[in-house]
Amino acid sequence: MTLSNSLAHTDVATALHPYTDARAFEQAGPLVIDRGEGIHVYDTTGKKYIEGLAGLWSVAVGFSEPRLREAAMRQMEKLPYYHIFASKAHEPSIRLSERLVGMVPDHLSRVFYTNSGSEGNDTVIKLVWYPNNALGRPRKKKFLARHKGYHGITIGAGSLTGLPNNHRDFDLPLVPVIHLTCPHFYRFGHEGETEEAFCARLLSELEDTILREGADTIAAFIGEPVMSSGGVMVPPAGYWPGVEAICRKYDILLVSDEVITGFGRLGTVLGSQRLGFTPDIVTLSKQITSSYMPLGAVMFTDAIYQAVADNTHRIGTFGHGFTGSGHPVATAVAAENLAIIQERDLIGNAARLEPGFQAGLRRLADLPLVGEVRGMGLLGAVELVADKASKRPFAVPGQVGAIAARISHEEGLIFRAIGDTLALCPPLIATEADLAEIVSIMERVVARTAVEVAASGLAEEKAA
């Protein structure tokens, strides 16, 4: 996109973009997306792209669902805004709460609304600390998380996140958190170690950490069922049941961050159901509205609710909430979006399409530069490396991923380059033919990237 384009010029002159090198952006400018239809989006020149990341891991029903537009319009006309502070309520948030409680496992019986997953995980911190103080456990405040885990970008959620660039020069973490080994066998397994032994080592690390710190100081363990924004890492078999068993043993709450895996991404309503564990708290966002409106939700057990409710009665209030908590338009859109997901069996669609999608991606493993292909459900990733045999990464992380992303745009596919990992998360409405086309484009992208990398010598450079 040339900077002569007036929209691009205005954007460069006025905006600071998230997750962007601002100086590089000043030179290159934005890709300005103009409209969307189904699984496709179109830029201001009319060029068509498959949106292979569903926006930001989030547009389940595609980019042009009329029922969501109509749901928003109906609610805007009737009650465009009202709050749910101080015992107020409105029908859209009530109906959504009823639907959510009906969709998820029975033990998750209460809902608190936010505007995003980051706010949701900030709320989780408070929901954990608040009753612990009320129950006379003021030392029970630390969180356990994982390196490369992603839980948001606010001060609290950003502290839980285990990605260095989310901490660097932001003075994070501020919340007391201990980051444990990322459960990604390809990158963090020891030489000669089996995947089973790797899992056992991680569970030992968890228990050893609890014993070292003192169980009376650790409030909760938080994790994504499948780590997504850190690079789509699927944990080894037995990992999550083992984590749950240790948390139960030491009276530590288990929090499942389902902002990406919630509402069908792994072929189940919650990712925790697919991975075989029962969380005390889940954080939800993104696919709850297909991101047509900002909305997040935290769902939790009745036991947590009762402890919180008792303390609100002692204090006289629950001193937490957002102007947009349970926003009537957002919750109306969410209810309609979830109705569509259920009526069209999009969760089942993800489960049915998973084998073909994952098998198709794994055919890329023999291509040059491809170190690992991984995924689950309709989540997938291709990790590019300088040397396949040794798994050696490129000297400058992200440089080759950026080349692949540029080529992908030329080929008409948008994915997320996470360093040198190419991540995919197609809308849940995708068909078998759509996914085959994504895999076909990915083959061309990787092949073209390999040619460009070979010509530039980037694979031969060694890290300093």
What ranges do the domains of the chain cover? 31-61+345-456, 67-343
pLDDT the model gives residue 3 = 47
The pairing of beta strand 40-43 with beta strand 33-37: antiparallel
Tokens 């139960």, located at residue: 248
> Among the CATH numbers 3.90.940.20, 3.30.2420.10, 3.40.50.1220, 3.90.1150.10, which is that of 31-61+345-456?
3.90.1150.10
pLDDT in tens, 156-180: 999 999 999 999 999 999 999 999 9
Angstrom distance (rounded) from CA 445 to CA 413: 9
Close Cβ partners of 288 (under 8 Å, ≥ 6 residues apart): 262, 263, 295, 296, 297, 334, 337, 338
Residue 375 belongs to what H/E stretch?
Answer: strand 370-376
Same fold, 31-61+345-456 and 67-343: no
The pairing of beta strand 416-418 with beta strand 421-424: antiparallel
Judged on CB neighbours under 10 Å (0-12, 13-18, 19+), 31 is middle
Judged on CB neighbours under 10 Å (0-12, 13-18, 19+), 416 is buried
pLDDT the model gives residue 110 = 98
pLDDT in tens, 132-163: 999 999 999 999 999 999 999 999 999 999 99
Structural domain 67-343, CATH architecture:
3-Layer(aba) Sandwich (3.40)
Cis peptide leading into residue 173 (ω within 30°): yes
Residues in the chain with pLDDT values less than 70: 1-4, 461-464
Mean pLDDT of the chain: 96
